[in-house]
Amino acid sequence: MKRTWFLLLMLVLLSLGCGERSKDVVVVYTSVDQVFSEPILRDFENATGIKVKALYDTEETKSTGVLNRLIAEKAHPQADVFWSGDPVRAIVLKNKGVSTAYSSPMAADIDPVFKDSAGYWTGFSARARVLLYNKKLLTKEDVPTSIFDLTKEKYKGKVAIANPLFGTTTFQISALFSVLGDEKAKEFMTDLKTNRVVVATSNGDVKKQVVKGQVACGLTDTDDAHEAMQEGANVDIVFLDAQGLGSLIMPNTVSLIRSGPNPEKGKKLMDYLLSKETEAKLAASCAQMPLHKGVVVPPGVPSLDKIQPMKIDYGKTAQKLEEIQNYLKEWAEN
């Protein structure tokens, strides 16, 4: 066992190029799509002269791959910063003692609801969960307005969701369990399965299936939906449960890893990610919604002021995420 662990550690060190580590290098693990996160990290390099070594998640194992790696490396941290696409994974790291507190001055004016009170994670640039629908297959009058509509007979076999074991779909299901309670949430998941919901490999796959008309509609994130509309697809979005449960708001989060190799460089990267300039870039590249006030955004980027948010406790949702993993695995496999 000790030999296996040693070999694994050596592979990790080599994969990060640790022989090249210096005071002017910062290592970040991120679950945010590389196409959007990498340009931000390159801009940080150009602005500061600090080299960034990044480890990106895959689309299919979104958020879970790097999360598990950070947990596995707890005794010998290789990363300085974790940039997550949602708060739940950051809270898991806090609860497991993988991250440490840092309150960036750049986030002073961000609403406290999007920050850990002790500084273990800070939110910025949010997305929301939406229903993307194909306008050739559904008229505005036929489009579901509530997430619970997806279990109705008229939508049987016409709705897609990403695998609930990964990414923001896990976050959304965990939020539903947190808000509705286990019994009602499990009833909803059973009804989805009975209604022959299509389980896609990822949010991107949901988008593709809706665009191609393989399904009439699907749950995804605002950035994936915006990308489809920018590409000219005949689709539109609905913020579900606007008069009730509300839409799940998912800020990016950034955390400092406990005992990481270069904590001061890690803090500089966090400050950069939490700036208004970064939020403006993410609004332009992938329609993410700034949490700072006064950030100029392109046309078509949704405003948080116009969305009914789902009222959740991010900490309780993170706890629920861990509690329901076995249930979600069984649901996805049966």
Mean pLDDT of successive 10-residue stretches along the chain, which has 334 residues: 45 47 85 94 98 83 77 97 93 96 97 95 97 96 97 98 92 95 98 98 96 98 92 96 94 98 98 98 95 92 90 90 94 92
Class of domain 127-248+324-333: alpha beta
According to the model, what pLDDT value does residue 22 have?
57
Q: Please choose, from the candidates 99, 100, 103, 98, the residue with its C-alpha nearest in 3D space to the C-alpha of residue 122.
A: 103
Which one of 3.40.47.10, 1.20.1740.10, 3.40.190.10, 3.30.200.20 gives the CATH number of domain 22-126+250-302? 3.40.190.10
According to the model, what pLDDT value does residue 59 have?
53
In 163-232, beta strands by DSSP E:
198-200, 217-221
* Amino acid at site 190: T
Tokens 């596995």 correspond to what residue?
72
According to the model, what pLDDT value does residue 305 have?
87
10 Å CB burial of residue 139 (0-12, 13-18, 19+) is exposed
Specify the pairing of strand 217-221 against strand 122-134. Answer: antiparallel
Every domain range in the chain assigned CATH 3.40.190.10: 22-126+250-302, 127-248+324-333
According to the model, what pLDDT value does residue 7 have?
44
The structure's pTM equals 0.82
